[in-house]
Structure 1
Amino acid sequence: MPTTRARLLAATTALLTLTTTTPATAQPPTQQPRYPGHTTSRYITAHNTPADTARAADAGCAAATTAQPGLRILFLGTQEHGSRLRHPGTTRTTTTPRIPTRAAVDIAAAYATGFTRCNTTDTTAHLALGVNNKDDGGIAPARAGRNWARIVEAAARRADTDHLTITGAIDAEPSWSTPAWARTWVDAYTATTDRRLYAANSAGGCPTPGHTSTACNNGWKLADIHYLATGAAPTLHAIPQIYRTDGIQARQWAAVSAWGAHHKNQPVRFAGALSQHTACTQRGGCTRTDNTPEAAWRQLRDALNARAATAVTRLPYATDMRWPAT
């Protein structure tokens, strides 16, 4: 029978062998983030009339009365030449009214006024003023990004309060521009302001984990998606579109984050998930793209936490898009 010393040595050797042969990859966290509840984000279809600010004030009041802290996004559409904004969901040939870009400052200030007036619970929020990366507006991307950063700064000077912080947002989608256009826009924005930029982007056509391809739609690559959501600057925070009920968009973003972890030692810096359930209810036409905000958030969390390299312990926001009431 082995001596006590021999048994101890054998046990130690076995433990070392087990330790060195166990894969180095850590396990996903056992402490999963809990669903935070959702806020309402809005498409803004302004007409450069007093009704624009009245509606914004009402929206701010409605946000405050929910007592739900967190991020809200106001998407104001596409930047055009001549310092104009075109409604969300439209193209260059659309005849809908254009508004001066600076009208976004008045809208943000009115929202902040309504939020402050109705905020009886000391609720705190980020209000992100957003545009998209459609390149059909006749404006160069560097100028567009720089101009939007200045709009966000101007809005912050008027509308920042102890409870409401003004930030920026971009809805960057591969089908709407070249990757170079979108990269240049983000570079210009982040070079002009330190205000946070929420990337409410899509990863259209990108692979899911387990695939070797790095190609996405319209000539974009995983590298471009990662750059526009995290890589360009530390002020970027991703709140991607997780619309599809089958979960593929969450898995695409897990692949983007895995690419960043492997190639840049930088998984995506996620703030939460964006859904469009209310917008779909209002206008219809959503075939399997009407995730509830909770379903979207859980899909993203679970896809990220399926692998240690992309796992998150915080995912603080869920926000759901809506159109203006008609």
Structure 2
Amino acid sequence: MPAPATRLICTLTATATALALTPPPAAAAPAYPGHTTSRYITADGTPADTLRAHDAGCADATAGHHGLRILFLGTQEHPDRLRHPGTTADTTTPRIPTTAAADIAAAYTTGFATCNTTGATAHLALGVNNKNDGGTDPATAGADWARITDTAARRAITPAVTVTAALDAEPSWSSPAWARAWIDAYTATTDRRIYAANSAGGCPTPEQDSTTCNNGWTVADIHYLATGAAPTVHALPQIYRTDGIQARQWAAISDWGAHHRNQPLRAAGALSQHTACTQRGGCHRTDNTPRQAWTQLRDALDARDTTRVHALPYATDMRWP
């Protein structure tokens, strides 16, 4: 029988060996952060535009929710105009000068500062889409939006609001070359962050052996627009569908990036449209709540080691003004 001292040494050695062989505990999955409100802006070139933006900023500050929110201003048109979200080139809705976006952002920031009794902070992203029916050159449009965003950021009157940009890039709205030229011009003109509030229409899910998406786009194009173009590009994908397929598509895109670019998605959170659906109707299985959208994306990304996230800070929900 070994001496007591020998038994102690053996016990300590066995314990140390067991600890060395035990894998470290997995990091806890991110917890739902709560959601902010993002807005479609339907400006008409009157003083009401800035009044509505001021009121929106005040409402958001009063709600006290920290984080990202997007003001989607629609489509860039030539020369230097913005067209309402959700419209086409032949619509007769008012157009506003592109520079008016900075005025709207300034009014929002002033409203936020005026009503901010809760200590809330905001990342305010000024958003446009990749519709190419406005006669704009994509490189010119991307660079212009970078300059508008920089101007709006300089005009912010409170450190509680950080102004940045967003792009709603969808395969059905342009060629991939057009969208790539836009994001390249934006990132070459400013180092200000841009949130990719994009769709992945027609892209595969992890169960599918494909790299093609709608309208001639590929998974490589989707990944480039949402992460690959520059370190300042952060993905905030549209996770509208209640069946979770959009979250799985983005997980497949992230996995593709991990394997082919050594770069999974730089995921910032999820975009939903629950409030907009409630306001307008017509949403068939595309009305995820913000929590549902965010949770679907987190779970899809966490399903494999290559795409697992340790932070997913934002959930934001679209509404009409």
Task: Give the TM-score category using the shorter length.
Answer: over 0.9
Residue correspondence of structure 1 range 117-266 to structure 2 within 5 A: 117-159=114-156, 161-266=158-263
Contact residue 110 and residue 157 of structure 2 kept, 8 A: no
The CA deviation at 1:28 is 10
Q: Secondary structure at the match of 1:68?
A: coil
> Percent identity of the aligned residues?
76
Contact 1:43 1:76 in 2 (8 A): yes
- TM-score, with normalisation over the residues of structure 1? 0.91
Once residues 189 and 82 of structure 2 are traced to their aligned partners in structure 1, the CA distance between those partners, rounded to angstroms, is 20
Structure 2 CA distance for partners of 1:316 and 1:250, relative to 1, 3 Å: same
Please tell me the residue identity of whatever aligns with 2:49: D
What is the DSSP-based 3-state SS (H/G/I as helix, E as strand, rest coil) of the residue aligned with 1:242?
coil
Amino acid corresponding to residue 273 of structure 1 in structure 2:
A
- Mapped pair 1:94 → 2:91: yes
Answer whether contact 1:160 1:166 (CA < 8 A) is retained: no
Q: Return 304-313 or 155-164, whichever deviates more.
A: 155-164
The answer as to whether partners of 1:29 and 1:305 remain within 8 angstroms in 2 is no
User: Deviation per CA, 1:163-213, whole angstroms, max 9, x where unpaired?
Assistant: 000000000000000000000000000000011000000011000012220
- What TM-score do you get using the length of structure 2 for normalisation? 0.92
Residue 85 of structure 1: SS of its match in structure 2? strand
Matched, 1:316 2:313: yes
Name the aligned partner's letter for residue 81 of structure 1.
Answer: H
| Aligned counterpart in structure 2 of residue 295 of structure 1, from 292, 297, 315 | 292
Q: Which amino acid letter does the alignment assign opposite residue 47 of structure 1?
A: D
Secondary structure at 2:120 match in 1 = coil
Decide which of 21, 28, 33 is 1:31's aligned counterpart. 28
- Three-state SS of the structure 2 residue aligned to 1:41 is strand
> SS of the counterpart of 2:153?
helix
Task: Provide the secondary structure at the position in 2 that maps to 1:309.
Answer: coil
What corresponds to 1:276 in structure 2?
273
CA deviation map 1:274-321 (0-9, x unaligned): 000000000000000000000000000000001010000100000000
Contact 1:29 1:312 in 2 (8 A): no
Cα distance in 2 for residues equivalent to 1:230 and 1:130: 17
Does residue 76 of the first structure (1) align with residue 73 of the second (2)? yes
Give how far 1:227 is off: 0.3
Match of 1:304 in 2: 301
Question: Could you report, residue by residue, the CA deviation over 1:236-277 in whole angstroms, capped at 9, with x for unpaired residues?
Answer: 011100000000000000000000000011000010000000
2:63 equivalent in structure 1 = 66
The residue that corresponds to 2:7 in the other structure is none
Q: CA deviation at 1:27?
A: 10
* Structure 1 SS opposite 2:183: helix
Equivalent pair of 2:39/2:319 in contact (CA under 8 Å): yes
- Provide the C-alpha distance between the structure 2 equivalents of 1:123 and 1:237, rounded to a whole number of angstroms: 22
The question of whether the paired residues in 2 share the 8 Å contact of 1:141 and 1:185 is answered with yes
Once residues 119 and 152 of structure 1 are traced to their aligned partners in structure 2, the CA distance between those partners, rounded to angstroms, is 23
Q: Equivalents in 2 of 1:29, 1:48: separation in Å?
A: 53
Unaligned runs of 5+ in 2: 1-9
Q: Within 1, Cα distance between the matches of 2:287 and 2:69?
A: 19
Tell me, yes or no, if the aligned pair for 1:28 and 1:306 is still in contact at 8 Å: no
Separation in 2, partners of 1:55, 1:278: 18
Q: 1:54 and 1:306 mapped to 2: Cα distance?
A: 45
- Cα distance in structure 2, aligned partners of 1:178 and 1:159: 34
Q: Does 2:283 match 1:286?
A: yes
**Which aligned segments of 4 or more residues in structure 1 are displaced greater than 4 angstroms?**
26-30
CA distance in 2, matches of 1:65, 1:162: 17
The answer to which of 284-293 and 29-38 deviates more is 29-38
Task: Point out where structure 1 has 5 or more consecutive residues left out of the alignment.
Answer: 1-7, 20-25
Letter in 2 for 1:319: T
What is the CA distance between 1:87 and its match in structure 2?
0.2
The 10-residue stretch of structure 1 (154-163 or 287-296) with the greater mean CA deviation from structure 2: 154-163
